[in-house]
A = this chain, B = another copy of it.
């Protein structure tokens, strides 16, 4: 209350008229019109809801008020919104025609109309209204002493109906609060699917009462209780998010088989005994929770009726926890090694006329479809499930690309041409530490594929995938956010919204605003750096993160065995992210200088070099009391050495031979230190 008082005393400053391109909306709406004038926020600001919405709108509006007062410091009189038509004279009027249904194809459109004394959100369903509230929060402006919304009209709706994020809670378990805050962030970015990867070689994460061995033996005590799952499903529903659970079978089976080795495919040949009694035969193998990363051979036995019995019982217990219409059964990366080596499985293949392991896997998959259908669920799986016998109701999740020796998104085109619905994840693998630009420009709708309208309609959308081999609950937010917001824009906004520079500018603001939802992507970086610095000042380490990016692809964890799931992820690389802050700025400075070698342009480039030389010296000092700083010192020295020489190059004073200069710069092209690479290396190279 007192803050408002201060603001009023300070008087009203004229607000400069905001321009459309200054707005930090993301995903960018379908239509935005800005007009003259503003709606200024005061403590009297109130919200009223009318129409026939699902009651989730009330929680949504109350959270909206809480976020708006948190940002503005205004003590709104209205604390809670709990029923329809509570304040008919309220300045913000929300009207919804109908209760939104969580799932695909629901009408999520909204119209937001801001006048200088009234704001209206009209939406077909409360899901659209929730999107409208997020847009309203994003359009908030301020001058020096007040907050206001610019007079404007926005009409908006999503381009794709499936706008998802997958989180892998199996490799590194991700506690309930991590899941919840990421669901909040999804809702803020108008995404609508949370795909929960709950089972993999490294752990089974679902409480099951019928099969308690799975949590007793295969979870390290890290799992979601059924109550927690129900609670998260409700939490997601309240925010307009569909949850798609995944139990990955028949491959990635180490955890399941740790509890139930009898349904595994591996056989052990027994030989031995004595000269009198010769032992020959086979026995089932035993399994353990996998601690490394990679593709492993433990695979369920598709020829064993008990496999289907256990899976059926598991689906009977797990399906009712998730009201949504889709269930993901994985199906990826089954190499079939244990199948090939198992005579019983080979006989089974022959008997059922299954020519390849791929056909055998389809046989397996098709056994699961009715188990899911019984609970009203459609089967979804990674693209390996796609074969000629697969039911047309299944959804094919396209993920492979050049990394896996396939053309990018090939399976997506294959699937829709064969009549399957599909979701694209190839190009959205955010765990691989590539630039946000790559993900942003990756469109689910393939260019030049010559698809019919029906085929196009079967491309449901896309999904960012956050695998967690190298990611703990402390670092996951920094791997997911803000990058996933760019993917959200690709999936929501018009196809022609592709201005990367503009996206980056808006993404910076999105990143800041995500903090109010509890996301830890910014704050936890400082925590890691304080540990690396051994409680010394982290300023220099922060600066070094501005030129350092984690190794990309799967190169950080060579062979999948350098890091175990229990290894420390408190290292410098864990504080770094793709799109290191200074890379673009330095590259711009270099480009400007090369285009126009003025003293000013030279000075800008030189400033970077002088800073990196000082940084190296400072880090050496810091390292005197910080063992965890040691691994980055060789890298800092290489950058400093190159900088010193390039300063001479700028002044035409370098006496190095061309090849020696090249080799000095090439030193910066290294992956040998601290699991990071120097993101400015390509720009350095341009200078020689």
Contact B566 A79 (CB under 8 A): yes
Confirm or deny: A227 has a beta carbon within 8 angstroms of a beta carbon on chain B: yes
Tell me, rounded to whole Å, the shortest Cβ–Cβ distance linking A60 to chain B.
Answer: 13
Q: Which residues of B contact A314 (CB under 8 A)?
A: none
Contact B73 A568 (CB under 8 A): yes
Which one of B220, B566, B624, B630 contacts A7 once the chains associate, using CB atoms below 8 Å?
Answer: B630
A623 to B73, CA, bound (A): 14
A558-585 vs B, CB cutoff 8 Å, 1 = contact: the mask equals 0000111111101100000000000000
B-facing residues in A593-632 (Cβ within 8 Å): 623-628, 630-631
Confirm or deny: A535 has a beta carbon within 8 angstroms of a beta carbon on chain B: yes
Q: Which residues of B contact A530 (CB under 8 A)?
A: 512, 515, 522
Contact B564 A144 (CB under 8 A): no
Confirm or deny: A509 has a beta carbon within 8 angstroms of a beta carbon on chain B: yes
Q: Which residues of B contact A177 (CB under 8 A)?
A: 175-177
Which one of B70, B474, B518 contacts A531 once the chains associate, using CB atoms below 8 Å?
Answer: B70
Which one of B72, B515, B563, B631 contacts A6 once the chains associate, using CB atoms below 8 Å?
Answer: B631
A6-B630, A144-B627, A144-B630 known; 11 new pairs, CB 8 Å cut-off, are A6-B631, A66-B566, A71-B570, A79-B291, A142-B534, A177-B177, A227-B227, A512-B530, A512-B535, A515-B531, A516-B531
Which one of B2, B227, B526 contacts A562 once the chains associate, using CB atoms below 8 Å?
Answer: B2
Confirm or deny: A523 has a beta carbon within 8 angstroms of a beta carbon on chain B: yes
Q: Which residues of B contact A227 (CB under 8 A)?
A: 225, 227
Tell me, rounded to whole Å, the shortest Cβ–Cβ distance linking A409 to chain B.
Answer: 35
Which residues of A come within 8 Å of B, CB atoms?
A: 1-3, 6-7, 10, 65-66, 69-75, 79-80, 142-147, 175-177, 220, 225, 227, 231, 291, 474, 509, 512, 515-516, 518, 520, 522-524, 526-527, 530-531, 534-535, 562-568, 570-571, 623-628, 630-631, 675
Q: A526-B523, A531-B71 are in contact. Are A145 and B627 (CB under 8 A)?
A: yes
Q: Which residues of B contact A225 (CB under 8 A)?
A: 227, 231
Q: Which residues of B contact A534 (CB under 8 A)?
A: 142
Tell me, rounded to whole Å, the shortest Cβ–Cβ distance linking A278 to chain B.
Answer: 36
A512 to B533, CA, bound (A): 11
Mind listing 28 A-B residue pairs with CB under 8 Å? A1-B562, A2-B562, A2-B631, A7-B627, A65-B566, A69-B567, A70-B531, A71-B531, A72-B627, A72-B628, A73-B570, A73-B627, A73-B628, A74-B568, A75-B564, A79-B566, A142-B627, A143-B625, A144-B625, A144-B626, A147-B627, A474-B518, A512-B530, A512-B535, A515-B530, A515-B531, A516-B531, A522-B530
A293 to B502, CA, bound (A): 46
Tell me, rounded to whole Å, the shortest Cβ–Cβ distance linking A551 to chain B.
Answer: 12
Q: A144-B624, A175-B177, A625-B142 are in contact. Are A73 and B571 (CB under 8 A)?
A: yes
Q: Which residues of B contact A628 (CB under 8 A)?
A: 3, 72-73
Tell me, rounded to whole Å, the shortest Cβ–Cβ distance linking A124 to chain B.
Answer: 27
A499 to B227, CA, bound (A): 49
A145 to B633, CA, bound (A): 12
Q: For residue A563, which residue of chain B has the nearest CB?
A: B75
Q: Which residues of B contact A291 (CB under 8 A)?
A: 79
A147 to B75, CA, bound (A): 50
A509 to B626, CA, bound (A): 15
Tell me, rounded to whole Å, the shortest Cβ–Cβ distance linking A489 to chain B.
Answer: 20
Contact A69 B568 (CB under 8 A): yes
Q: Which residues of B contact A624 (CB under 8 A)?
A: 144
Q: Which residues of B contact A71 (CB under 8 A)?
A: 531, 570
Q: Which residues of B contact A7 (CB under 8 A)?
A: 627, 630
A443 to B652, CA, bound (A): 72
Q: For residue A10, which residue of chain B has the nearest CB?
A: B630
Tell me, rounded to whole Å, the shortest Cβ–Cβ distance linking A352 to chain B.
Answer: 41
